[in-house]
Amino acid sequence: MSLNRLSMRHKEKENVKTNPISRSQFDDVESKLSLLSIVLSDAQPEYLMKQSQRISSQEELLTFISQSLESHNYPKLELEDTKIMEQFECTVEEFLMGIPDPVKEFSDSYIRTGYEENAEIYLKSRYQNLALCMDIKELLMTHKYNLTNVCQQLDSLGMKANPYNLDLVQLHHSPSVFFHQEVWYIEHKEEVLNFLKSAIEAARVEAELNRPPTPPSVEEIFECEICRNDIEDYAELGTCDGPAGHLFCNDCVRRSAEIKFAEGGITFPCLINCGGYIPLQIIKDLLERGASWNVCLIKR
């Protein structure tokens, strides 16, 4: 062994002996596990947990740390079991190509599988001292290991999230791609939602600009059944009460009514004899209140 490595090991051992462990670091298993995880960061978590449960005194803890640093004879994490959460990197556009509707995708209620240990690691790294405030496992189980919903609840409770610096977070085992996607979405949620909002607005503006011009309204043209003149205003027409409702211009109706009056008639059949009649109210509205209309009233 080289002198440099011996010197480094001596310094590590010396630091452990000369830096006393505070009482708070020795009160319970979780505190001992936290300390051991920092000092022996490459050790397997299960091994450190067993040692934390076994060690019963401060002297024993110091001895264990010193011997471990000296010998490095403890179960270590395998390279394939160590995954860096920063490995999943993409742009917002790339993310949305794979998950077009992340709000719906990550708000579902189905149970996540393979999330248990890694979800705890992520939450502990995101929220400082979270384990001291609540039972993380119970919180995750309540939300069926849906990290998005858990983080949303913690944020609403005022829990301050640590800055996004997860490149040193080591997971227990190889997580699924979906786990990485959900973590990425949580860390970039505001950016994703703003992008979606802008995209929707841009699509609306583009659709508005590309919308074909509204054609001018075409006024309906009516044709008199007698003179065949085109009439644009429906108010300038008279109609019979027959099934077909034949239309006639006011001039033709007026002339026909005057002829009927002259002949002594008091009813006004359809001008093309369909069997219907032109209502008297129409005749009254067309004829001036003169001799013709008065004669009609007398004969009735």
pLDDT in tens, 241-298: 888 889 999 889 888 888 887 787 778 889 898 888 888 888 878 776 444 555 555 4
The answer on pLDDT for 183 being more than 80 is yes
φ, ψ of residue 43 to 5 degrees: the values are: -85, 155
Same domain, 192 and 271: no
Greater model confidence, 168 or 20: 168
Domain contains 279: yes
In a domain, 116, yes or no: yes
Q: Residue 19 falls within a domain, yes or no?
A: no
Which residue segment(s) compose the domain that 104 sits in? 92-209
Clarify whether residues 96 and 205 are in a common domain: yes
Report the DSSP beta bridge partners of residue 76: 43
What pLDDT, on a 0 to 100 scale, did the predictor assign at position 149? 92
Q: Which residues contact 174 (CB under 8 A, 6 or more apart)?
A: 80, 81, 83
- Residue 119 domain flag: yes
Question: Is residue 294 situated within a structural domain?
Answer: no
Q: What is the dihedral of CA 15, 18, 22, 25, to 10 degrees?
A: 30
Q: Does residue 151 share a domain with residue 52?
A: no
Tokens 């091994």 appear where?
A: 47
- Give pTM, 2 decimals: 0.44
User: How many domains does the structure of the chain reveal?
Assistant: 3
**Structural domain ending residue among the three candidates 169, 187, 209:** 209
202 and 125 share a domain?
Answer: yes
With respect to residue 160, please indicate whether it lies within any of the assigned structural domains: yes
Q: Say if residue 173 is in the same domain as residue 278.
A: no
Is 113 in the same domain as 197? yes
User: pLDDT tens digits, residue range 61-118?
Assistant: 888 888 887 888 888 876 444 444 445 678 888 888 888 899 988 887 777 766 777 8
Any domain includes 120: yes
User: Does residue 232 share a domain with residue 123?
Assistant: no
What's the confidence (pLDDT) of residue 288? 62
Residue 295 counted as domain residue: no
Q: Which residues contact 193 (CB under 8 A, 6 or more apart)?
A: 103
CA–CA gap between residue 25 and residue 34 (Å, rounded): 8
Q: Looking at the structure, do residues 248 and 176 belong to the same domain, yes or no? A: no
Q: Are residues 203 and 248 in the same domain?
A: no
The percent of residues in the chain predicted with pLDDT above 90, rounded, is 8
Question: Is residue 196 domain-shared with residue 229, that is, in the same domain?
Answer: no
